[in-house]
Amino acid sequence: MLNRRNILQGMAAGAGAVMSAAMDPQKLMASPDSGRTTKRVIFFMQNQGFDPATCIPKGMTSSGSLAGVTLPEPISPLESYKDKLHIINGLHGTHTSPSHSAFFGALGGYRGGDGVPPSAPTIDYELSKVLPETLLPHLCIGMDSIENMTTKPTVANLSATGAGQPIFMHSNPNHLYQMLYGGISTGEIRKQHEARSNLLEQVEKLAAAKGQTLPSASRQQYGQYVQGFEDVNGLRERLSSVSDHLSKFAPVVDERYTQPEFETDWHDALLDLGISALTSGITNTLTIGSGRGEIFGAWKGIGVEKQGHDLGHVKQPDNPIWIKIRQYNSRMLVKIMESLESIPEGSGTMMDHTLIVYTSNNADKQHTSGANWPVMLLGNFDGAFKSGCFTQLDGKRPINALYTSILRAAGSKVNRFNMDEKLAKKFDNATGPVKEIMT
């Protein structure tokens, strides 16, 4: 029996970016080997901080090549991908007040906090507008404990389309699979997809009708709610129109979906769905929230018994717990790269035109001032970014400058991201991209 509360929860706002009604699904889903190239960006946000000692090779105190060094144990799965790796230390995010988490401020580059709504669009959404249009402009997936993912299958903490407009992360792989591939499924999944679709269509009609009777002040806010259902229903129809194409990329539904032994079974299933959304061309902007932008999260499936807030109160360097978590993250990053490298695109592969940004939603550690915000880049984004190296910055440029760099590489002519001149005078000593990391 379908749980209607879970079906509706987060769906209105969870559609996130608005899809163009004029788009042609068949053209947008052109095969990667057709000769075209499409840039794409993936953000991987691990909660509880990213201690630089877990990623910077020992002895490296200044910028240089990674060719002759060994990566630290926590990121050792990336050793064979050193030529695609760029470790950056010395950006800051003091203006975001990260502490336990900067929440929307981590990707927005502005002041954030628990329960604080977004004050502007986040970088992932902005990129989805700059990059070529797709059926689903932006997909967010969130990984947490199995209890949290079950009771709260959608949650919004990291991404936003604008002030007060969060984008929800999908945390239940069953729901996400139904949304993306329900139209090409059979059996129980198809039944649930059709029941869910019929229900949402009815809710959209009822919501639109009822909204007309509201006072004008409330009608606009209610209109956003209705728009969310329109977006979800429109996405379902467009995905159905390219079912033959999608059938080549849909992951196999196994017991990890319906009978997960550990939360990491759902983490892995969500990652598979995120990868399939990229490789099929459903989206070109993916955000992964490990810990969902909060201080929670669990990794019992990799042998980590401690979970949640307590994980932030143990030092990360040389800690068996954080070695396991960071290696698990690194294996996920490798899986993304291997999947993208396996698909031809243009004169190379999908990975040649991709950038993966790995960092934390609260800088270097829990209870941080944000004075140092380590980042790892994977891929060079069509040659825009240096790779196979370590860059040590002086701490005078904010994470906003990194986001400006990515926007520039994506084709947007911007000098700053979410930072006016008044704020920049205090927190940024330059304008435009971070030149040290660009080619």
pLDDT value at position 7?
Answer: 35
CA separation for the pair 7, 9 (Å, rounded): 6
Read off the amino acid at residue 126.
E
Specify the length of the chain in residues: 439
pLDDT value at position 15?
Answer: 47
Structure-token match 């409330």, residue found: 218
Which phi and psi (to 5°) does residue 334 adopt? -65, -40
By the 8 A CB rule, do 217 and 225 touch? no
Q: Where are the domains of the chain?
A: 37-173+261-437
Give, in order, the Cα–Cα distances in Å from 329 to each of 45, 216, 228, 362. 10, 48, 32, 16
Secondary structure class of 92 (helix, strand, coil): strand
The third-level CATH classification (topology) of the domain covering 37-173+261-437 is Alkaline Phosphatase, subunit A (3.40.720)
pLDDT value at position 5?
Answer: 38
Q: Which residues sit opposite 337 in a β-bridge?
A: none
pLDDT value at position 28?
Answer: 59
- Interaxial angle between packed helices 173-181 and 187-211, expressed in degrees from 0 to 180 and rounded to the nearest 10: 80
Nearest residue to 4 via CA among 199, 227, 176: 199
pLDDT value at position 238?
Answer: 78
pLDDT value at position 303?
Answer: 97
CA separation for the pair 330, 271 (Å, rounded): 13
One pLDDT digit (tens) per residue for the chain, 439 residues: 333 333 333 443 344 444 444 456 655 555 554 556 789 999 999 999 999 999 999 999 999 999 999 999 999 999 999 999 999 999 999 999 998 999 999 999 999 999 999 999 999 999 999 999 998 889 999 999 999 999 999 899 999 999 999 998 999 999 899 888 886 655 665 555 454 555 445 544 555 555 555 556 555 554 544 444 445 556 767 787 788 888 899 999 999 999 999 999 999 999 999 999 999 999 999 999 999 999 999 999 999 999 988 898 899 999 999 999 999 999 999 999 999 999 999 999 999 999 999 999 999 999 999 999 999 999 999 999 999 999 999 999 999 999 999 999 999 999 999 999 999 999 999 999 999 999 9
Q: Tell whether pTM > 0.85.
A: yes
Q: Measured in whole angstroms, how far is the alpha carbon of residue 436 from the centre of its chain?
A: 25
According to DSSP H, which parts of 152-212 are helical? 173-181, 187-211
pLDDT value at position 12?
Answer: 39
